[in-house]
Structures are given as structure tokens and as C-alpha cells.
Amino acid sequence: MLYLISKLDLKAIYETFTQMDLAFLSFSLPFIALMYLIKAKKWQTLLNCINVQIPIRRSLEIILIGTFYGTLTPGRAGEVSRAFYIDTEKSRSIPTIIMDRVIDIVCLLALSVLSTVLFFKDRNLIYLMVLVVLLFIAGIIIITNERIITFVFKSFSQRKEHTENYIKTIREITENRKALFIVFSLTLAYYILNLIVYWIVIKSLSPALNNILTFSLPIIVILGNIPISISGFGVREFASVTIFRMLNENSAYGFSCPLVLYFLTSLSPALFGFLLTLRKKS
């Protein structure tokens, strides 16, 4: 992040924030609220696969708490903390969170490849996306393959019961085609809303910015999910600046757009999640 900032015009970045149309930006708030309701419904659906029923409101609260812990860790790994807020065996609840992330990543990869092919036909970006796709596919195989899971659990001296519960949960979810269809559909709806929010962010910073930039969102998000920095800081902004330059747009906007989006869709909800953790402790 510091390297990227050193290469950009700080005054220009500051001006992008001071000139932002906050009134127009506020139109994004209902969409963000709906995005989090969708996330809550997704996880509720996955929990139903293992006969764990929680109200949508409770699911939303735990999602917000998970978002808080997710912002503190690379690749949002902290979202696994959601498992500690429901009354069920962790080796059963954690796989639902992992499958939630897997479905998220699969949808993001598909949208990223589509965006790259349709709008951003840059050779270096294509090579990077191929590498990212292979990286995430390898990761998905590792956390869902029964033999690998068994080996990993044995390596960490986990009880056989935990291994069996994990594998059983993965099977119950992957074999429930109706639930998978619902969760995939909700995930796509989530990212469509996210695209709308990103378009509002772009236009609130400058109405003159190219509308095509909106479709860079899946690429920026998937790269930000690579677990090499806290909350994807630096990686996400670097990808955005690169794409903005590709379309001959001001790099300062490329830096500002993902930051504003992160504040709206991750950091602000995470603050609500933090308040919920305090309430639970008290």
C-alpha cells in the first residue's frame, strides 16, 4: 500500500475525496443493506442443510460479527468465527462457512473471467487471472477433498469424529442441489447489487468516469481475496489503479474507488459487528 501511495499524486487523491458527491453516494445504502440480508439468507440456507435453524435476524447479526473479524485477517479468514456464535458442533458449523466462501469464490471467478474477456482484454491481466483461477481452484480442492481433509486433520491430531463431521457436512451441502441452486442464485444477486453500489461510488467521485469501470469490480474483489494482506489492502487498490490506467482514467480515482467501496460494504458493517461483539460480552 505504501509503495502504491508513493507512486501516486497524494493531492489528487485528497481532491477525489473532498469533491465526492455524498448525496448521490447515499443512494448506495439501501443496496448495501439488501446485500447483507442476502448474505444472512445464504448462510441460513446452508445451515438448514445440516438441520440447524436460526432466524434470519440472528443470521444477520452473526454475519456482521464475522465481517468484523474478517476485516482483521488476510483473505477474510476471520469469518470462521461465525461458528462460535451458534449452538452446534464446530466441526459441523465451520464447513457451512467454508462452503459459503467457496460458492462466493466460484461466482467471483466466473464473473472475473467474464469481465476480463468482455471488457479488459489486457494480456498481462489475462495471465494474472489464469494464475488466480488456478490458485483458487487448488485451494477449493484442498478444503473439500476428503483424502486431503483426512490427512490435514490427522496432521493436527484432530479427533476422528471431527474429521467425519466435517466430511459429512460438506457432503450434505454438495448433494443438496436445491440448496446449492438457491445459494448460487443469492450470491449472483449479491454481486449484482455490489456492481450497482460500485457504479454509484464511481459516479459519486466523478460522473465523467467510464461506466465500463463498474465491471472491474469482480476482478478487484477476487484479487483482494488473495490472503497476502489484511483485508486485501494494497492488492485491491493496485489492481484498481492498473485497470483505471488501462482505460486512460485518472489513477487517483482508481485508488479512491475501492477504498470508498471498502468503507461502505466492509468497514461500516464491521463496526456494527464490533458493537454486537461488545453486546454479547456484556
- 204-258 residue pLDDT tens: 999 999 999 999 999 999 988 887 777 777 788 888 998 999 999 999 999 999 9
pLDDT score of 214: 96
Q: Report how far Cα 31 is from the mean position of its chain's Cα atoms.
A: 16
The reported pLDDT for the residue numbered 142 is 85
Query: How sure is the predictor about 261, in pLDDT bands with cuts at 50, 70 and 90?
Result: very high
123-144 and 217-224 helices, crossing angle to 10°: 50
The candidate with the shortest Cα–Cα distance to 145, out of 121, 123, 174, is 174
Provide the pLDDT confidence category of residue 2 given band limits of 50, 70 and 90: low
- Rounded Cα distance, 204 and 22, in Å: 7
**Dihedral-angle region of residue 234 (phi above 0 means left; psi in -120 to 50 means alpha; beta otherwise):** left
The string of DSSP letters for 172-191 reads: HHHT-HHHHHHHHHHHHHHH
Q: What's the pLDDT tens digit per position in 132-148?
A: 889 888 888 888 888 88
- Alpha-carbon distance of 235 to 74, in angstroms, equals 11
Cell numbers linked to 113 = 473471467
Measured in whole angstroms, the distance separating CA 268 from the mean position of its chain's CA atoms is 14
The Cα 258–Cα 234 span in angstroms is: 10
What is the H or E stretch that residue 162 is in? helix 160-174
Report how many helices (DSSP H) and strands (DSSP E) the chain contains, helices first.
14, 0
Q: Strands, E, within 121-212: which ranges?
A: none
Name the region of 157 (left: φ>0; alpha: ψ -120 to 50; beta: rest).
left
Nearest-angstrom CA–CA distance, 19 and 55 = 42
Q: Mean pLDDT lowest for which of 39-48, 125-134, 158-167, 244-253? A: 158-167
Spatial separation of the C-alpha atoms in residues 49 and 129, rounded to whole Å: 33
Distances from the Cα of 85 to the Cαs of 77, 114, 122, 187, 212, in angstroms? Answer: 16, 37, 44, 23, 40
Phi/psi zone of residue 241: left (φ > 0), alpha (ψ -120 to 50 degrees), beta? alpha
Q: Which amino acid is present at 208?
A: A
pTM, whole model, 2 decimals?
A: 0.90
pLDDT at 156 over 60: yes
